[in-house]
Amino acid sequence: MRRLTYFILPCYLFLYSGYIMGADLRGQLIGLSGAKIEVRCGDLQRSTTIAASNRFHITDLPANQSCFFKVSLGQAVSVRTPFHTRQNITDFNGSMRKIGNRIIVVRR
């Protein structure tokens, strides 16, 4: 019985941790390749650079949470764009445009 407990407990913890921190944000933001996207979910912060293909992918976000992201390129910054993570993968596709020191993000 003890061996079974030692086997089940790590499996449970592994599955539970995947449930809490298993969401990804991915998508395509057309218009400003090379821009930095910064995601915040409460105290958690993740960031990446938008590739030349205009795609981005951020992993290990909390599942089923309200979050937001900001896009920056040099001195230009967007306003906070809210989104809600799903259990596994959240897609966010849109376009960006730089006007002065502001970046406008429009979801499609």
The structural domains of the chain, with segments of one domain joined by +, span 2-107
Over residues 25-71, the pLDDT tens digits come to 999 999 998 999 999 999 999 999 999 999 999 999 999 999 999 99
Distance from C-alpha of 72 to C-alpha of 90, rounded to nearest angstrom: 21
pTM here is 0.77
Q: Is the pLDDT of residue 7 over 60?
A: no
CA angle 53, 82, 54 (to 5 degrees): 5
Summarised one tens digit per residue, pLDDT across range 70-107 is: 999 999 999 999 999 999 999 999 999 999 999 999 99
Query: What superfamily does domain 2-107 belong to in CATH?
Result: Carboxypeptidase-like, regulatory domain (2.60.40.1120)
pLDDT at res. 1: 55
